[in-house]
Each structure stands twice: as structure tokens, then as C-alpha cells.
């Protein structure tokens, strides 16, 4: 399996519902380092997993939609605990939509899977991986 990873980051504010979250129930900020790994069994006709420039730009644009937002105020996240795990799946879904819209180029349809990893700190992170 071939893979290509691009990295970016975004900053948000949010709070959580539930006593399990302790002080994180209060509004707080988070800065996530995001690694998106694109995987495929065979390289495309250009010898690529996916175009690294297009992948970087697409991921950056998608993260820009979340950057500097208070997720508690975003209608798409109403009623959700926007945990690191939840956000990794949400970003995966956004990237998958971009693939289906052709934003990552025509050869991106040959991808097998994508893994989105959000690093909350140097000691804690979460990922979501799914098929394309």
C-alpha cells in the first residue's frame, strides 16, 4: 500500500457536555496539528498517490472553514461533543466529499483509504480512517 501524508493545523474554541470532561466542560481553546494520509494500492498514471500540492491546498482550505471558530456556535455541530475523535471523522467526511466533487483531481478516485489524525498535543492524538 502506498501512502502520502500532508500536514496542516487549525485553532478552535469549544466546550463539552458531561461530567467525564471535567474542566473541559467550560469554553476552552485547542490547536490541532492535522496529518492526512492518503493511501492506494497502485500509483496513478503519473506515479503518484495523489498530487501533493492539490492535497495540501485542499486540506488547508477545509481546515480554514474551522479555523478560529467557536464550534459551540456552529450549526453543524449543535448537540455534538466536538472531541478530537469526532473532529477527525468530520474532517475525513469533508475530504471524502472533496474527492467525490473532483477537488483532489481525477486520479484521486483511485484512492483506497484516508486516515485523518488530529494531534491535540505531543502526547495525545486521535485518528479516523475509512475507505474512499
User: Domain residue spans in the chain?
Assistant: 2-131
Instruction: Tell me the DSSP string of 26-61.
Output: S-EEEEEEEEEEEEESS--TTS-SS-HHHHHHHHHH
pLDDT digits (tens, 9 = 90+) for 1-40: 999 999 999 999 999 999 999 999 999 999 999 999 999 9
The residue written with cell numbers 496542516 in the block is 8
Helix axes 84-101, 52-64, angle to 10 degrees: 130
Q: Which has the closest alpha carbon to 59: 117, 132, 121?
A: 117
User: Could you tell me what percent of the chain has a pLDDT over 90?
Assistant: 97
Which of these CATH numbers, 3.40.1010.10, 3.30.479.30, 3.40.1160.10, 3.30.479.10, describes 2-131?
A: 3.30.479.10
Q: What is the model's pLDDT at position 16?
A: 98
* Mean pLDDT on 102-115: 94
84, HSE (Cβ side, Cα atoms, 13 Å): 18
pLDDT digits (tens, 9 = 90+) for 35-61: 999 999 999 999 999 999 999 999 999
Rounded to two decimals, the pTM is: 0.95
pLDDT digits (tens, 9 = 90+) for 55-79: 999 999 999 999 999 999 999 999 9
Q: What is the model's pLDDT at position 6?
A: 98
Between 105 and 130, residue with greater pLDDT = 130
The grid coordinates listed for 15 are 466546550
The grid coordinates listed for 12 are 478552535
Q: What is the model's pLDDT at position 27?
A: 97
Amino acid at each position: 500500500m502506498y501512502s502520502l501524508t500532508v500536514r496542516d493545523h487549525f485553532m478552535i474554541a469549544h466546550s463539552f457536555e458531561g461530567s467525564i470532561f471535567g474542566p473541559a466542560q467550560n469554553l476552552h481553546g485547542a490547536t490541532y496539528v492535522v496529518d492526512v494520509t492518503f493511501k492506494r494500492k497502485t500509483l496513478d498514471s503519473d506515479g503518484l498517490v495523489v498530487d501533493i500540492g492539490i492535497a495540501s491546498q485542499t486540506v488547508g482550505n477545509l481546515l480554514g472553514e474551522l479555523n478560529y471558530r467557536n464550534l459551540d456556535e456552529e450549526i453543524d455541530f449543535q448537540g455534538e461533543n466536538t472531541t478530537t475523535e469526532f473532529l477527525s471523522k468530520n474532517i475525513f467526511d469533508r475530504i471524502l466529499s472533496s474527492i467525490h466533487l473532483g477537488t483532489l483531481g481525477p486520479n484521486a478516485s483511485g484512492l483506497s483509504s484516508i486516515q485523518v489524525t488530529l494531534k491535540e498535543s505531543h502526547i495525545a492524538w486521535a485518528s479516523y480512517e475509512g475507505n474512499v
